[in-house]
Amino acid sequence: MPCNVLITAASRRVALVQAFQAALRATGGGRVIVCDINPLSPAVHVADRAYLVPLSSAPDYLDEIRTICELEAISLLVPTIDDELELFARARESFAVRGIGVAVSSPETTALCNDKLTTCAHLRAHGVAAAATYIPGTLPERISLPLFVKPRVGRGGIGAYRAQSARDLAFFVDYVDDPVIQEYLDGPEFTIDVLCDFQGRVLSVVPRERVVIRAGVIDRGRTSNDRALIDLALACAGVIPFAGAVNIQCRVANGRPVVFEINPRFSGGIPLTIAAGADFPRMILDLVAGRQVSPAIGAFTPDFWMTSYEASIFLDQDRVNALTQAVPAGIREVA
């Protein structure tokens, strides 16, 4: 049967929209609906339909999402940004009673992963390799530089700085809002894409080396069938219950992969994982439809490269005027 999907905060996630569209064509049909705060967001013009909504911090945000779900007969809801993961996690049951699956981990997991200090502390307490992480005032007297300073809660590498000296450290600790200080992991950086079913069982693990990073998102990279990276992801899933897509950020330092943060959502580099044969959107659609999905850990093409480029969507002025006029109260279809 057709399954309609709603992707929130769609923004630039054109590849994710297209991946769900392709998965729907292969599994019985359906449409991909998106919502966003900006009518000029690229994904708005790739989806089958789009709606303007307020920021997720608005008091009526969830009500508007529920209205879209009802209008569009949504079966699967896919949140995409850290800011709204806890909100949707807490509302999972209210969507479930309406027959809508939400691809998000539990409130406890989303809250844990949203805080870089507690993420690493939890992993280390359970014997999983994770970066030593501190808040100002708790640094050991003897600690080696460089160190890494970043927001305790944040995404996309925004506000993250390498402190080479004590002077740098003092400056960035003062400059960054609510900072954490992490040991500097010197080595190649990897994202490990993980997919779990809604009971926490791991279905797929795909490590990717982030060879070139631009604005916090992979620009060039390759898949890596490295057993140590796969085992690290399985260890994380063994001590943190995940549901849906998760991306684990780590570096290989002194020959050992070490986690420095976890994002319980689709990664920006998910197109490489999908192209390499681990079709997360299709597996999630199968789960929502009640079809059997067997674990396929390591089932992807290794050393498969992605090199990205900019693409544009072109709109005439009349279209832009129509999309950017004052938005009335409530949701508004824009595409």
pLDDT in tens, 289-312: 999 999 999 999 999 999 998 889
Whole-angstrom CA distances from 40 to 8, 50, 82, 215 are 15, 11, 21, 20
DSSP state of 327: P
DSSP state of 43: G
**pLDDT at 278 (0 to 100):** 97
- Find all residues with CB under 8 Å of 12, minimum gap 6, and list them: 41, 42, 43
Instruction: Give domain 132-183's CATH number out of 1.20.950, 3.40.50, 3.30.1490, 3.30.70.
Output: 3.30.1490
For the segment 9-37, the average pLDDT, to the nearest whole number, is: 95
pLDDT of 334 > 70? The answer is no
Average pLDDT over residues 245-250: 97
Preceding peptide of 146 cis, ω within 30°: yes
Where are the CATH 3.40.50.20 domain residues in the chain? Answer: 4-103+313-333
Residue range(s) of every CATH 3.30.1490 domain in the chain: 132-183
Q: Where in the chain is the domain with CATH 3.30.470.20?
A: 186-307
Apex CA 108: angle with CA 103 and CA 111, to 5°? 85
CATH architecture type of domain 186-307: 2-Layer Sandwich (3.30)
Buried b (16+ CB within 10 A) or exposed e, 28-66: eebbbbbbbeebebbbbbbbbbbbbbbebeeeebbebbb
What is the per-residue DSSP string for 52-84?
Answer: E---TTSTTHHHHHHHHHHHTTEEEEE--SHHH
Which of the listed CATH numbers 3.40.5.50, 3.40.1440.10, 3.90.230.10, 3.40.50.20 matches domain 4-103+313-333? 3.40.50.20
182 contacts: CB under 8 Å, gap ≥ 6: 116, 120, 131, 132, 133, 134, 147, 148, 149, 150, 260
Main-chain phi, psi angles of 36, to 5 degrees:
-165, 165
Residue 327 is predicted with a pLDDT of 42
Q: What is the pTM of this model?
A: 0.92
Per DSSP, what are the bridge partners of residue 49?
33
Would you state the pLDDT for residue 219?
Answer: 85
pLDDT-derived band at 158 (thresholds 50, 70, 90) equals confident
Rounded to the nearest angstrom, the gap between the alpha carbon of residue 32 and the centroid of all alpha carbons in its chain is 18
* Arithmetic mean of pLDDT, 18-36: 95
